């Protein structure tokens, strides 16, 4: 018995052996700064990156904040991501469980009656009840770390699902913010269109009056009607787009299509890059999609060790103990007990047709694939930030020039009307100025929306959007 105990202790002490490579983050060259930085983007030192701000620190519209908070609780993608985390947590328990001894209990009872005419003559007929109660113990000694590598992989996959949930939250927050800005842009375009329709209706009355008095020909009337019908046709198309955008937002909220409450107008939206983008090297720690790819790499790397451990001997301890008696009333008395502890059994694979070594090579190939996916995610992140930075700068310039053009056309239209009703210029100048002004106002609205959408894109590219003020209830942290 002392020999068995000493052997068991030696096996446990030797259980720290781990086969397979330990994880090391692969090197990837990071640029010193993001391409695209320039005027309009803060560059002064700061304690945090723009991507580290929480979403409610970036989106100041209270109605938008309310919509995001509803979506974080009721959106189905977020709820599914939470359930995937719960599944991954239990997979860690399943992967870790073989490190502990497995114990099960069994019992049996049978009624026995012997025959006086059996094979042994002379034995009187008897009735008795036979009872058996015992437990089995099986314990795999994790000598080469197969179980620990499997647990390591399961934990990395759990972390990957948590990062995946953050990606879902980030996507939901930024998509909802984008949809809300697009909705407010459509609202403003509809307002401009309705105002233009009203203005052209008044102009039509004036030119008709001039025609009725014989001061002008029918041509200005027809031209004004043409412009009026064109403006009117824009209104129902915008109303269609608005209702469809409301339906999109409703689904993001986890609700059936319906109207959406508005907050600040498009012009009142205060979205700006208040802090620098930060260093490119810190992007790897902030973007959840990169951390997701890295955890998959960690898991794949651990699977190599798990596959290699199968090439080595498998060491198991087994035993059983219990009570057995032909009379139930004596089942738990001393003489009825028994036990059996076997010496450690060792199983060494000798020939498996190449299956085990193929498993190792397959795990190594999956790790290489995961490493390439990780590097690709890092590379893509640098492109995302660079694209977003240049978009923020250049779309701001577009918006500024659109504002100047709209202001100039507004003055031109006023002057054209004065000159026409003063009898100096033909009505064609008024119509052309009015058409250009309407188109410029719509372009300016779109330019304002594009600038805001570029800021949202930069915020997401820098890894922002998943940081919440408080996690939704019943979601695992």
| φ and ψ at residue 136, rounded to 5 degrees | -115, 140
- pLDDT tens-digit map of 288-312: 999 999 999 999 999 999 899 888 8
Confidence of residue 344 (pLDDT cuts 50, 70, 90): confident
Q: Residue 472's pLDDT is what?
A: 41
Query: For tokens 């942290």, what's the residue?
Result: 477
- pLDDT tens-digit map of 362-379: 999 999 999 999 999 999
C-beta pairs of 184-187 under 8 Å, 24+ apart in sequence = 184/262, 184/264, 184/265, 184/266, 184/269, 184/449, 185/266, 185/445, 185/446, 185/448, 185/449, 186/238, 186/241, 186/242, 186/245, 187/242, 187/262, 187/265, 187/266
Q: Residue 476's pLDDT is what?
A: 36
State both tokens at 271: 């979205």
Report the predicted TM-score, pTM, of the whole model to 2 decimal places: 0.83
- pLDDT tens-digit map of 98-112: 888 888 887 776 666
Mean pLDDT of 135-159: 86
Domain spanning 15-101+144-315+358-461, CATH architecture? Up-down Bundle (1.20)
- Cα distances (Å, whole numbers) of residue 377 to 25, 84, 87, 363, 402: 14, 22, 25, 21, 36
Q: Between these two residues, 172 and 204, which has the higher pLDDT value?
A: 172
Confidence of residue 447 (pLDDT cuts 50, 70, 90): very high
State both tokens at 408: 């100039």
Q: Residue 328's pLDDT is what?
A: 56
Q: Residue 178's pLDDT is what?
A: 94
Query: For tokens 């978009």, what's the residue?
Result: 391
Q: Between these two residues, 269 and 207, which has the higher pLDDT value?
A: 269
Confidence of residue 333 (pLDDT cuts 50, 70, 90): low
- pLDDT tens-digit map of 111-127: 666 666 666 665 665 65
- pLDDT tens-digit map of 369-422: 999 999 999 999 999 999 999 999 999 999 999 999 999 999 998 998 888 778
Percentage of the chain lying above the pLDDT 90 cut: 42
**Of 214-218, 264-268, 336-340, minimum mean pLDDT range:** 336-340
Q: Residue 46's pLDDT is what?
A: 61
pLDDT at residue 84 is higher than 50: yes
List the domain boundaries for the chain. 15-101+144-315+358-461
Q: Residue 230: which residues within 8 A CB-CB, separation 6 or more?
A: none
Instruction: Tell me the average pLDDT of the chain.
Output: 84
Confidence of residue 259 (pLDDT cuts 50, 70, 90): very high
Q: Residue 47's pLDDT is what?
A: 64
Q: Residue 132's pLDDT is what?
A: 63
Q: Between these two residues, 332 and 19, which has the higher pLDDT value?
A: 19
| φ and ψ at residue 347, rounded to 5 degrees | -120, 120
- pLDDT tens-digit map of 10-23: 555 445 578 889 98
- Residue 41's CB is within 10 A of a number of other CB atoms, namely 20
Q: Residue 311's pLDDT is what?
A: 87
**Of 143-152, 339-348, 409-418, minimum mean pLDDT range:** 339-348
Q: How far, in Å, CA of 60 to CA of 121, rounded?
A: 99
Q: Residue 471's pLDDT is what?
A: 47
Q: Between these two residues, 13 and 212, which has the higher pLDDT value?
A: 212
pLDDT at residue 473 is higher than 50: no
Q: How far, in Å, CA of 401 to CA of 328, rounded?
A: 98
């Amino acid at each position: 018995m002392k020999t068995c105990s000493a052997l068991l202790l030696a096996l446990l002490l030797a259980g720290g052996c781990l086969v397979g490579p330990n994880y090391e983050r692969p090197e990837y060259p990071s640029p010193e700064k993001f391409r695209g930085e320039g005027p309009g983007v803060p560059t002064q030192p700061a304690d945090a990156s723009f991507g580290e701000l929480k979403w409610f620190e970036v989106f100041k519209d209270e109605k938008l904040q309310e919509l995001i908070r509803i979506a974080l609780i009721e959106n189905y993608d977020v709820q599914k991501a939470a359930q995937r985390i719960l599944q991954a947590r239990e997979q860690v328990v399943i992967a870790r469980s073989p490190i502990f001894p497995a114990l099960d209990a069994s019992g049996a009872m049978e009624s026995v009656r012997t025959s006086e005419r059996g094979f042994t003559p002379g034995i009187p007929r008897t009735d008795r009840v036979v009872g058996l109660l015992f437990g089995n113990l099986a314990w795999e000694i994790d000598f080469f770390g197969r179980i620990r590598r499997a647990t390591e992989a399961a934990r990395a996959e759990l972390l990957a699902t948590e990062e995946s949930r953050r990606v879902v939250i980030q996507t939901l927050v930024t998509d909802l913010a984008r949809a809300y800005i697009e909705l407010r842009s459509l609202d403003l375009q509809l307002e401009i269109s309705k105002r233009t329709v009203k203005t052209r209706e008044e102009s039509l009355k004036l030119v008709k009056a001039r025609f009725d008095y014989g001061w002008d020909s029918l041509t200005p009337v027809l031209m004004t009607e043409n412009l009026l019908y064109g403006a009117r046709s824009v209104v129902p198309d915008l109303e269609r787009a608005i209702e469809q955008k409301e339906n999109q937002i409703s689904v993001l909220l986890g609700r059936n299509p319906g109207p959406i409450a508005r907050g600040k107008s498009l012009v009142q939206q205060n979205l700006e890059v208040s802090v620098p983008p930060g260093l490119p090297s810190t992007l790897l720690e902030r973007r959840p999609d990169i951390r997701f790819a890295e955890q998959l790499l960690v898991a794949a790397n651990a699977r190599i060790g798990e596959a290699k451990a199968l090439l080595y001997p498998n060491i198991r301890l087994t035993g059983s103990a219990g009570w057995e008696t032909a009379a139930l009333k004596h089942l738990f008395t001393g003489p009825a007990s028994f036990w059996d502890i076997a010496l450690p059994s060792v199983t060494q694979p000798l020939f498996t047709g190449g299956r085990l070594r193929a498993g190792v090579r397959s795990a190594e190939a999956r790790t290489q694939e995961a490493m390439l996916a990780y590097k690709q995610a890092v590379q893509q992140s640098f492109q995302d930030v660079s694209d977003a930075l240049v978009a923020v700068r250049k779309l701001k310039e577009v918006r500024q020039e659109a504002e100047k053009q709209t202001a100039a056309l507004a003055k031109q239209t006023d002057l054209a009307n004065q000159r026409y009703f003063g009898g100096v210029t033909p009505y064609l100048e008024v119509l052309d100025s009015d058409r250009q002004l309407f188109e410029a106002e719509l372009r300016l609205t779109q330019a304002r929306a594009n600038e805001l959408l570029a800021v949202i894109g930069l915020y997401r590219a820098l890894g922002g959007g998943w940081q919440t003020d408080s996690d939704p209830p019943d979601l695992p942290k």
